[in-house]
Chains A and B, each alone.
Chain A
Amino acid sequence: MAARVALVTGGSRGIGRAVAERLAADGCRVAVNFHTRSDAADEVVAGIRSRGGEAFAVGGDVGDGGAVTAMFAAVEAALGPVEILVNNAGITADDLLLRMKPEAWEAVIRTNLDSVYHCTRTALRAMVKSRWGRVVNVASVAGISGNAGQANYAAAKAGVIGFTRSIAKEVGSRGITVNAVAPGFVETDMTDALGTSVRDVVVPSIAVGRFGTPQEIAAAVGYLASDDAAYVTGQVLVVDGGLSF
C-alpha cells in the first residue's frame, strides 16, 4: 500500500506533534500545520525526516476558510491529496462565564470548531472521490462532562462531537470514517498553564493517578486512522486515564 498522506492541524506542539510523529512512524507522509510557531513545526519535520520519514510544514490559520483552501492546495502540491485529516488545532481562553468577554468566546469557537468545518469540508472532496478517508477530531472530556471556567472550550468540543457523528453518517458509505478522540488531562503547554494547586486537586480523581502523555493520545488517533479501524465510525474514544467514567 502506498504511504497515506496525512494532515495534522496544530501539529507543531503538544498532542498534534505526537500525532504527526506517530502517523509518520506508521508510514504516513505527514503535513504538519502550524499557525504561529514555524520554528516548532520545522523541528517536528526535521525529527520525522531524521528517522527516515516524509514530512512537510505548512502554515495557516485553520479558523480562516481562505487560509484553509490555500493550505490544502499547498499540501496537495507537495504530497498529494489528503487521505487522513486530524483536526487537532485548539486554543483555550478560560474564564467564568460571567466574566467571559465575547472575544474569548469567539476566538475559541473559531479555532476549535470553525476550523473543523473548514478543514473537513475541504478534505472530503478528494476523500469522496477516492472512496477512502479518515477524519479524526481531537475533542476533549470537557466536551462531554463540561468544565467550570471552560464554557467556550467545552461548547466547541461538544460541537466537534456532534459534527463527528453527523459527518460519519453522511460519508460512511464512501469508505470514509469520522471519529473523535476525547483526551482528559495531558502533559502539554495547555495544561502546564494550570497551577500546581489545580493539578493537586485533579490527579486524585484520575483512576490511573497521573496526567496522560501526548503519545498516549496519538496512539488512539493512530488506530482510528488505520485500515484496522475501517468498521469504527461516529465514535468518541475517551482517553483520560479513567477520569470521567
Chain B
Amino acid sequence: MDRATVEAKMTDLLVDELGLDRDKIKMSAKFEEDLEVDSLGVVELLMALEDTFGVAIPDEEAEAIATVGQAVDVVMQKLAG
C-alpha cells in the first residue's frame, strides 16, 4: 500500500469514526490541539487503524503520535513489516 493510499484511508477514518471536518485534516495537524480530538478519541482512532490496516500499534509507539502525518508514518512502518 503506498503512502497516498494510507493518507486517504486515514482521512476517511477521521471523518467517519471521529466525525472530523474533512477540510481541516492536514498531515501536519495535531490531533489534540488542531483537531480537538480528546484522549479517548485518539484511542478510538488507534483501534480503527488496527482494524482497517490489520496492524498492531504498541502503547509506547501510540503515545508518540501527535499529528496525522505521524500516525501515517507508524502505519507505513508496520505495513512494511
Q: Are A174 and B47 in contact (CB under 8 A)?
A: no
Task: Name the residue of chain A whose CB is nearest to the CB of B44.
Answer: A128
Cα A129 to Cα B51 with chains together (Å) = 12
Interface residues of B in 15-47 (CB under 8 A from A): 17, 38, 40, 44, 47
Cα A173 to Cα B44 with chains together (Å) = 13
Give chain B's interface secondary structure class: helix
Answer whether residue A170 sits at the interface, using C-beta atoms and an 8 A cutoff.
yes
Cα A62 to Cα B64 with chains together (Å) = 34
Is the interface on chain B under 10, 10 to 19, 20 to 34, or 35 or more residues?
under 10
Give min CB distance, B2 to chain A, whole Å. 28
Is the interface on chain A under 10, 10 to 19, 20 to 34, or 35 or more residues?
under 10
Q: Which residues of A contact B44 (CB under 8 A)?
A: 128-129
Cα A171 to Cα B47 with chains together (Å) = 15
Interface residues of A in 171-228 (CB under 8 A from B): 171, 173-174
Q: Which residues of B contact A49 (CB under 8 A)?
A: none
Task: Name the residue of chain B whose CB is nearest to the CB of A174.
Answer: B40
Q: Which residues of A contact B40 (CB under 8 A)?
A: 128, 170-171, 173-174
11 contacting pairs across A/B (C-beta < 8 A):
A125-B47, A128-B40, A128-B44, A129-B17, A129-B44, A129-B47, A170-B40, A171-B40, A173-B38, A173-B40, A174-B40
